[in-house]
Structures are given as structure tokens and as C-alpha cells.
Structure 1
Amino acid sequence: MNKYIQVRDGEELDREIIKAFILSNFENVKDDKFEVKQFPSGKSNLTYFIKMGEWEGVLRRPPNGPLPPKAHDMNREHDLLKKLHTVFPLAPKPYILCNDKSVLNCPFYIMERIKGHTIDDELIIQKNMTKEQKRHISTLMVDAIVELHNVDYKQVGLEKLGFPKGFLERRLNNWISRFNKYKTEDIGVLDNVTKWLKNNIPKEQKATLIHNDFKLNNALVDDSLKHLNGIVDWEMTTIGDPLFDLGSTLSYWVEEDDSELLKESLEITTAQPGFITREEFLQMYVSKTGRDISSFLFYLVLAYFKIAVTQQQIYYRYKSGTTNDPRFARFKQSVRNLIIYSDRLIQNKRI
């Protein structure tokens, strides 16, 4: 089932205010036993499980501290899910958006709680998962990302969600700028990586809706391990090159024989017998979409660089004291590892 922890210090909600908000905005909710827990895995927006009697919901709000421009936009995330859920039911259904800062001092929204299991090492042990089940879950992930990329985003009114023209170049320049802004130390091969990326931007694929963080621990599987119940964490969703989305997915798809630079920096759930390889995932995707993957090395390097930038921003918040989550201390070394690995990938020219 979904995992929850006690709310971390400094990230508490005002329980009485939230309780009053729910009672005044939701019908048939009884003023009964009230629980607030926190989802432990998120490293960006703060996500809480709320239960009152039989009623359950999930609350999302921005993190504390200084935030990048246009990031953590609760209105955007809520509106996206409201439209997307109607055609892609793996996306959670949002219930209500609140922009009244007198409630939580920030915008937030509440959505449905999707029941299911986070796919991680603990689940694999609990379920004594077989190689065949791991492979099946791998194919479910392929099918889900293909289904998402097939959504007609214009038909559901999401054409203003992003600006696909010049997507790759714009994103690359933005991430280089962000890395420099939040840099805490010099990494020798960083210039090699950013110069290669600038010089190898491919012709972009026809734009689709992209999740932008489509990875195993953002998927929820049912008890039988045969079906996905949901995909979560849609805050970075936009309109853009679908191979960038695929590159992001495969950057997190660590294999058994991968470098320690990756294994020390990313989740390694897929680095065990049963899960398909990055190459198998890529070829399954191609067989279902027919997309040209001749420039896929660029997308994968860009994805590792994106992770490094994201981790660097979070580490900057940790170092400056705006978050005290101990998980973030390791990002100093993780960022360095990812940049070095990206440079090696460029030199070796293989995924």
C-alpha cells in the first residue's frame, strides 16, 4: 500500500484549519478521527495523506523556501489533472483547489487517494516478486508511457500547457542557467557536457503530452501486480518532445552492470534480474510508436543533466537551511557523479 510517515519537522500543516476546510468543502464527510501523514518519497512539492473517518484525500502544496520562477504552480497542476484524468485515468482526479493564502499561507489542492503499491525494493521483497512479474511490470510502464504520448492534448484543452517549438534548446539553456545559479562547487567536466549538449540538439519529434518524471516509483501497482492503478507527481508535465520524456524514464532505469556512479546517485530497484534493460524498453517503445531514436544518446545525456540540476537545486536549499530533510545531504556527491557519468556516456557513445 501507499507509504506514509509522520509529518517532518518544519513541514507541518495546521491540523485544525485543514480539518475545518475539509468539513466545509466536502459533502458527507463526518467529523470523526482525523489523521495527517506525509508521503516520504517526494523531493519537491510536499504531499500529505489526509483521512477523516472513512474519507481520504491527498493534499499537495509547494515546498518551503525560495522557489524557482513558475515552479510549484498548484493552479497549473490542478487544472492539468482535471482535464487529463478524463482521458488518462491513471492520472489522479483532483477534488478542489485553494488559492486563499489565509488557509495555508500558500496555494494547495486536494485530490483523490489512489490505492496501490509503490514499486520499490520493499515491495519486491514483500511480494517475493518473480522475474516474470518484474518483466510484466516493466511492460506495463512501457504501455503507460506510450498511452500518455498518444493522448490528444488539444482535444482535452491542454494545448496551452507548454510551448513545444524550440523545447529542447530552451530547456537545455534553462537548466544550464539554473545549475550556475545554484552551484555550490566546481565540477571539472561540466563544461564538456554542456558544450556537447549545445552542439548536438537533434531535430525535435512531433510534440506530445509528457510527464517529465515518468519513473517506477511514481507508479502504483495493484495487489495482483498485474495492473497499474495510477501514475503520480504531475507537477512538471508539459507539451514537448516525447523522446525527452522517454530519456527521463530510462535515465532512472538503472541496470545490474551499470557504473557505481549511477547506482550511488539514483534508485536502483530496476538493477536486478527480471526488469527489462534500457535497450529493451527503448525497442518496445519504438515498436509501438515508430519514432526515430537515432539521436537517443542526446536525450539520455540531457536527462542525466536534468536530474543533476534538480538535485543541485534541492541541495542548495538544504545547504542554505531552508529544508532540513537529511535525505538531501547526499545530493552533493550525487550531482558530481551524474555529471561525470554523463561525460563518460558522451565519450563511449552508448546508452
Structure 2
Amino acid sequence: MSESAESRQDMFSGTKEVAETHKFEEAKLEQYMQAHVEGFEGPLEVRQFKGGQSNPTYQLVTPGKKYVMRRKPPGKLLPSAHAVDREYKVITALHSIGFPAPKTYCLCEDENIVGTMFYIMDMVEGRVLWDPMLPGFDPQTRRKMYESLAHTMADLHMVDYEKIGLGDFGKPGNYFARQISRWSKQYVASETETIPEMNKLMEWLPEHVPDDSSTSIVHGDYRMDNTVMHPTEPRVVAVLDWELSTLGHPLADFTYSMLQWVMPQIGDGAGVATIATADLASLGIPTLEEYVQLYCERTNRPGIDNLDYYFAFNFFKLAGILQGIVGRVRDGTASSAHAEEQAARVKPLAQTAWKFAQQAGAM
């Protein structure tokens, strides 16, 4: 494992002491869990996960079991952001049909317990892998991990969302228009410098949406480090971080997970790591075309048209997400020590988005 890969894995993996800005009265939480979490037995020890930029995530350790708590961050928040109640709803529904989502225990909307809304779920044991080049594994294992990644996403998009009670989880249709509007508003609300490409994208993207009205559950931020791999086997055992999930367009969701194949070299942070210049054949990692094929075979699609548009949209969306983090640093509500690094990444992401928009016909 290279030094940078090692430090990246170490930087984001595991837990740390709870950050001062995210502390709460632990005795209150223990009392709440005693009453609402079936089988709970204290005493309780609280740690905070290092990874994650948005919703503070805690490891709740008891003598017999570990749990995970996700909560809204304290402080001033953007409208509709940090919807942990929606996360709880989708994870609970998907777990009930055997999809790899953690078992949930409770959603607490009473802000008097830890200061903000939260939910508690199982701690799924396994490996969260932060480097998409998967150092330390042999080519065959890497290949199987990527196959599992593609197949798990395909399985999500094939779920009958009406049947599992998620018919009201979003508005079918007009997904791109709504998403572009959402991330444009977030970008403008969090803006810290003028980026001409973002302004051009906000104008061009809504006018050139592909004509395809497919609808499925979408995760919204699907990538290797938002999954848990089995402790010893090359397969996904849990999908995490459902904050951006809704009903939407499956190809918008899938092509977001493909960004690392075309990502510019702008750092090693979560969501912006790249395999664009890697020797994929020797690593055993599928090419972009092979990854598309893995997904399409599983979802019975003949292929994917309009890739340039989807990449433009997703780089724009990622720039909007990162600008939101920059805005939270400005407002003092960011939940990661690495959040400030995101500021330098917004502009190159916007420029990459515009490059793909131009390949799709933008002038």
C-alpha cells in the first residue's frame, strides 16, 4: 500500500473522540436507548467516525453490541438538507427485503435527547475502502469488489419501490430539472467565489435533459467508500450514507458512481479520488465500458446513451455538494476536519462538468 493510500485509509477510517462541536449529554442517549432500542444493554461508550462530511455519525459501543447513530448537525442548515428521517425510512424499507442496508432500531425527532434529530442502526462489521484503486488486494479480488459494487447498484434500481412502501419517497419524473434546481440553489446559497462554468451549467443543463423518464430509488452518492465490504469476501454487505436518496433517474445515479473513471486529479478526498490514469488491466479493475456492461446486463438495458450529459450533470452536482461543505465551513457547521480542503476542488469540478457539457453540444 502506498504512503498516500495508507494515510488516506487511516485519515477517514475508524473512530475518534467526539468533536467538541458535536458533543451531547451521553447519559440522556443511554436512557433513550434503554427505552427504545430492543435488546439494548449498557453501559454506553460514544465515539465519532472520522469519515463523512455532512451528518455527524457516531459509533455507540456497549459490552455486547455496537450501534451507529446518524444525526443532523447542529447550527444553521440549508433547507431540506441533512434529512436523517428520510435516510431512516429508505434503509428500513430496503433492509426488510434483504437489500444490503443496515437494520434500523429507532428514529428520534425529539431534539432534547442529543440536540438534533437522529436515528440508530446496526453497526455492520466489514471494510470501508477509501481508495478506489484498492491497494493491498490482488487483481481478481479487486475485480470481484467492483462487480459487487455494480450489481448492488443495479439491484437497488430494480427494487419495486411502491411494493416496499416508498411510493411517496419522491416525485416520479422531472428528476434532472429538480436536481439541477436544488444544487443550483445550494451552490448560490453557499457561494464563496464566482465560477463562470457553474453559471453556464445552471443555464445549459435544464435545457438539454435526455428524453428518458425511468424512475427508481436512487442513492445519490453511491461509491466504494459509501459501502461496507464483507470482512473477508469481495462483496458489499451494506450501503451507507443515504442522505441524498429519493425517487429519481437510475442513470443519473449510476453514472455518478462512474465519475472516478473520468475524475481530474484534484486530491485524494472522499468522492474525488480518481482511477482515470491508472493501469486498470494490471490492477484488475473494470474499464468504464466493462463497468457499464456489468450494470446493464443486471438491469436488462442495451447500453447507456448521453454519457457526456450525465457526466456534466454529475460533476456539476458534485461541485454543488462540495460548495455546500465550503459554505458550512464558512457558517461554522461543517462536521469534518477535512472540509476546508474542498474549497479548492469546486472550480476544477465545474470546469470538468463544462467540458463534458461542451462534448454534449454546449456552446
| TM beyond 0.5 | yes
Normalised to the residue count of structure 2, the TM-score between the two structures is 0.87
Which range is displaced more, 319-328 or 64-73?
Answer: 319-328
For 1:72, which of 82, 100, 118 is the aligned residue? 82
For 1:285, which of 265, 277, 295 is the aligned residue? 295
2:25 maps to 1:14: yes
**SS of equivalent residue, structure 1 residue 101:** coil
Equivalence for 1:235: 243
Structure 2 contact 17–48 (Cα < 8 Å) conserved: yes
- Give the distance between the partners of 2:93 and 2:24, measured in 1 at CA: 28
Structure 2 contact 308–359 (Cα < 8 Å) conserved: no
- Give the distance between the partners of 2:71 and 2:196, measured in 1 at CA: 36
- Give the distance between the partners of 1:239 and 1:344, measured in 2 at CA: 28
- Give the distance between the partners of 1:178 and 1:205, measured in 2 at CA: 25
Which range is displaced more, 188-197 or 128-137?
Answer: 188-197
2:338 maps to 1:327: yes
Structure 2 contact 264–274 (Cα < 8 Å) conserved: no
Query: CA distance change for structure 1 residues 265 and 259 in 2, over 3 Å: closer, same or farther?
Result: farther
Displacement of 1:349 after TM fit?
5.2
Equivalence for 2:231: 223
Structure 2 contact 53–336 (Cα < 8 Å) conserved: no
Query: CA distance change for structure 1 residues 229 and 202 in 2, over 3 Å: closer, same or farther?
Result: same
Structure 2 counterpart of 1:132, one-letter code: Q
Displacement of 1:218 after TM fit?
0.7
For 1:315, which of 321, 326, 338 is the aligned residue? 326
Equivalence for 1:212: 220
Q: Give a deviation string over 1:87-132, Cα, whole Å, max 9, x none.
A: 143011110111222212221111111111002349944xx20111
Equivalence for 1:337: 348
Matches within 5 A, 1:33-52: 34-52=44-62
Query: CA distance change for structure 1 residues 263 and 5 in 2, over 3 Å: closer, same or farther?
Result: closer
**SS of equivalent residue, structure 1 residue 92:** coil
Q: Give a deviation string over 1:53-100, Cα, whole Å, max 9, x none.
A: 112211110012222222222322222222221114301111011122
- Give the distance between the partners of 2:234 and 2:198, measured in 1 at CA: 42
Query: CA distance change for structure 1 residues 88 and 305 in 2, over 3 Å: closer, same or farther?
Result: farther
Query: CA distance change for structure 1 residues 102 and 222 in 2, over 3 Å: closer, same or farther?
Result: same
Q: How many residue pairs end up in the alignment?
A: 344
For 2:114, which of 104, 116, 125 is the aligned residue? 104
2:259 maps to 1:259: no
**SS of equivalent residue, structure 2 residue 273:** coil
Equivalence for 1:85: 95
Displacement of 1:27 after TM fit?
4.7
**SS of equivalent residue, structure 2 residue 112:** helix
Structure 1 contact 117–123 (Cα < 8 Å) conserved: no
For 2:199, which of 191, 194, 199 is the aligned residue? 191
For 1:177, which of 182, 185, 199 is the aligned residue? 185
Structure 2 contact 53–335 (Cα < 8 Å) conserved: no
- Give the distance between the partners of 1:222 and 1:155, measured in 2 at CA: 28
Structure 1 counterpart of 2:162, one-letter code: K
Structure 1 contact 65–323 (Cα < 8 Å) conserved: no
Identity %, equivalent residues:
26
Unaligned 5+ runs, structure 1? none
- Give the distance between the partners of 2:213 and 2:97, measured in 1 at CA: 22
- Give the distance between the partners of 2:265 and 2:117, measured in 1 at CA: 40
Displacement of 1:285 after TM fit?
1.6
Aligned-pair RMSD on alpha carbons?
A: 2.4
- Give the distance between the partners of 2:241 and 2:252, measured in 1 at CA: 17
2:254 maps to 1:249: no
- Give the distance between the partners of 1:171 and 1:189, measured in 2 at CA: 18
- Give the distance between the partners of 2:212 and 2:284, measured in 1 at CA: 33
Structure 1 contact 189–340 (Cα < 8 Å) conserved: yes
Query: CA distance change for structure 1 residues 28 and 206 in 2, over 3 Å: closer, same or farther?
Result: closer
- Give the distance between the partners of 1:300 and 1:6, measured in 2 at CA: 38
Normalised to the residue count of structure 1, the TM-score between the two structures is 0.90
Displacement of 1:321 after TM fit?
2.5
Displacement of 1:17 after TM fit?
1.3
- Give the distance between the partners of 1:75 and 1:158, measured in 2 at CA: 13
Asked which structure has the greater RCO (Cα within 8 Å, sep 6+), the reply is 2
2:173 maps to 1:162: no
Structure 2 counterpart of 1:339, one-letter code: A
Displacement of 1:236 after TM fit?
1.5
2:58 maps to 1:53: no
**SS of equivalent residue, structure 1 residue 158:** coil
Structure 1 contact 92–112 (Cα < 8 Å) conserved: yes
Structure 2 contact 261–275 (Cα < 8 Å) conserved: yes
